[in-house]
Amino acid sequence: MVAPQGHAQAASAPARSNARVDSLREQLRQTELAFAAATAERGIEGWLSYFSDSGTQLLKTGRIVRGHAAIRELMTATLNNPKRRLLWHPTIVEVSPSGEMGYTYGPSEFVALDSVGRKTVLGCGTFMTVWGRQKDGRWKVLADMGSEAECRSQPDSWSGLDSTLAGELRSTGTPGAVLAIVRNDSIVHLAALGVASTATGAPVTTDMVFRVASATKMFTGLAAAILAERRQLDLSAPVRRYAPFLTPSIGSRTMASLLSHTAGLRDNSSASGGSDDAGLAAAVRKLGASAVMSPAGDVYSYSNSGFTLAGYVIQRAAGAPYADVVDSVLLRPLGMSRSTFRTTIAMTYPIALGHTAPASARDTARVMRPFADYAEVFPRGGLLSTAEDMARFAMAVMSRGRRGSEQLIPAAAVDSVMRPRGDVPGDTASHYGLGMRVVLNRGMRELGHYGGGFGYGSVVRMVPEARVAVIILANRNSALLTKTADSAFATLLRGTTAAAPSPRPATRAPLSVADVRRLAGTYRNGEGQVLELVLRRDTLALVDEGERYTVVRTGTDRIAATDAEGTIVMEFVTVRGRVSQAPYLFTFGRAFRRDATGK
């Protein structure tokens, strides 16, 4: 590796092989990851535990060191320094046809750690490790070698970004996070800051599992598109084909409309029923006519209920539990080995625990107990993953399903999910595909999703034209660390032809009497999601939990509720349904339809 030595470039390209070799290749990849984790945790003892008795270390000087005793003498000072760490991960893993030997290759970093776990890159390199499979089936290192390489992570820029992330963790009361920066087909920066649990103070590490929350919707959309390519699922057919028991008003909706938030279903983010796969079907069977807000195609409105139903349709179309289908068609092909919907599997890996948001500036986030585990949440927000695995997903999406010369998932499926299908009201640059945001960023498409809930927050943003992506996984409820993400993109997209968009200027004006009377009424979305605009002496007020806020105009189709000091507390876009012409208020991604009794 890089430190006094590293691992060197492999010349041969990955080759296709049979199922047995594929299984051994994945086993070897997991062994390499465990090798890295053991070294980070146990230093020289972890390092040597993976070497065969006669294993050799090839230094960049050409010197060869053989056997545990000689390697211990060489490496102890480097690996047992608590303020230094050798980090690496494999990008190529190959196994011989006989299954007796293999090699791993990838980037490595030698870093310094400060008191809060923030890292400074001291050196970079590439590694190659030659492995032999023992009689008991375990892999052992036969030879380890490496070379130095230019640090592609721009240490000065990324150290500044790590500082931005540290500041955002403090300002938002978020215990910890992992940040991954992707350029082309590699992770150029991977950083872990803060603690995995405020109860124990254990530090976050880059290999930890987080819940990605609503970023899961990208996987639901892509899994559906893959099944459609396999002709197992028709995205344009009424979903009653797969769930005949649905009420007619719901059964007439299509998968394409469910996955693009244009099906007209109300939002419901509650959960019950436990982790048994039957819980997903049970949740869908509870959907009745009251779940319908509007005709399909009337308005874009974010609906978790729609994704619960979509996950069930995937399950029915494929003939297997939703979690197993996504694992089979997406997670395994992309090499996302630490990603799962099964909590009992996720907890066998290092995991960052979810936390509630602090109640005040002087409070601290607390571990959320019990750990959320609901099958009905799986399709809309249940994926547990690592930043590195999410980076693999981003690389696959940006390359239309390819890794090198290998097509991992159908290109047509990737194209399908990123095609805009739902238009977000009030923002001509913002759309939604199948489970994926599609927005315009500096004249280029930006794909991705945010996630928040059950103690976690996530940011996944990709710009395929620039071949860059940013992933941030955090362990505080709904922690969307957008300041850090924006700062990362400012660096990654520096020099692009189009500048970042300027913020919309804030203008305020009183509503006309006609507008006041036209907008007054009660607007509803899901259960308990009610907006009430009431008349008060020819002015309009938003009534929320007993408080009244004056409503003013902020644009042609925009209004805002302001407090007594004039501070905007909530903004809305006023919308007419495309099909029904019914009036809506749109805010936080959701449309609220006015009751028929509204004036």
Question: Got the DSSP string for 334-352?
Answer: TT-TT-BS-HHHHTTS-BP
Looking at the DSSP assignment, which residues form a beta bridge with residue 410?
A: none
Instruction: Tell me which of 119-123, 160-164, 341-345, 481-485 is least confident.
Output: 119-123
CATH topology for 513-594?
A: Lipocalin (2.40.128)
Band of the pLDDT at 16, cuts 50, 70, 90? very low
Contact 235, 415 (CB under 8 A): no
370 burial via Cβ count (<10 Å: 0-12, 13-18, 19+) = exposed
Residue 500 pLDDT > 80: no
pLDDT per position as a tens digit, 308-319: 999 999 999 999
Residue 479 pLDDT > 90: yes
Output the DSSP codes for 357-395.
PPSSTTS---B-SSPP--GGGHHHH--EE-HHHHHHHHH
**Which CATH number applies to 211-492: 3.20.20.70, 3.40.710.10, 3.40.50.300, 3.30.43.10?**
3.40.710.10
For the chain, helix (H) and strand (E) counts, in that order, are 16, 27
Strand locations in 464-577 (E): 468-474, 521-524, 530-536, 539-544, 547-555, 558-562, 568-576
Output the pLDDT for position 121.
75
A 10 A CB-CB count for 581 gives 8
Q: What is the pTM of this model?
A: 0.75
Q: Which of 425, 540, 492 is nearest to 188 (CA)?
A: 492
Q: What percent of the chain has pLDDT over 70?
A: 92
Residue 160 pLDDT > 90: no
Output the pLDDT for position 247.
96
Region 1-151: CATH code: 3.10.450.50
Indicate the residue type of 337.
S
For residue 279, give the 3-state DSSP assignment. Answer: helix
Higher-pLDDT residue of 19 and 173 is 173
Output the pLDDT for position 50.
97
The whole-chain average pLDDT of the chain stands at 90
Domain-wise residue ranges, the chain: 1-151, 211-492, 513-594
pLDDT per position as a tens digit, 196-235: 999 999 999 999 999 999 999 999 999 999 999 999 999 9
Q: What is the mean pLDDT of residues 21-45?
A: 88
Band of the pLDDT at 538, cuts 50, 70, 90? confident
Output the pLDDT for position 332.
97
Output the pLDDT for position 150.
64
Residue 5 pLDDT > 70: no
Strands 84-88 and 101-113: antiparallel
Band of the pLDDT at 589, cuts 50, 70, 90? very high
Question: Is the peptide bond between 370 and the residue preceding it cis, with omega within 30 degrees of 0?
Answer: yes
Residue 14 pLDDT > 50: no
Q: What is the mean pLDDT of residues 134-150?
A: 90
Residue 591 pLDDT > 90: yes
Output the pLDDT for position 19.
72
Residue 146 pLDDT > 90: no
Output the pLDDT for position 338.
96
Instruction: Tell me which of 361-365, 507-511, 582-586 is least confident.
Output: 361-365
pLDDT per position as a tens digit, 268-283: 988 887 889 999 999 9
Output the pLDDT for position 12.
35
Residue 11 pLDDT > 50: no
Question: 218-252 b/e with 16+ CB inside 10 Å = b?
Answer: bbbbbbbbbbbbeeebbbeebbbebbeebeebbbb
Output the pLDDT for position 158.
83
Output the pLDDT for position 7.
36
Q: What is the mean pLDDT of residues 527-543?
A: 90
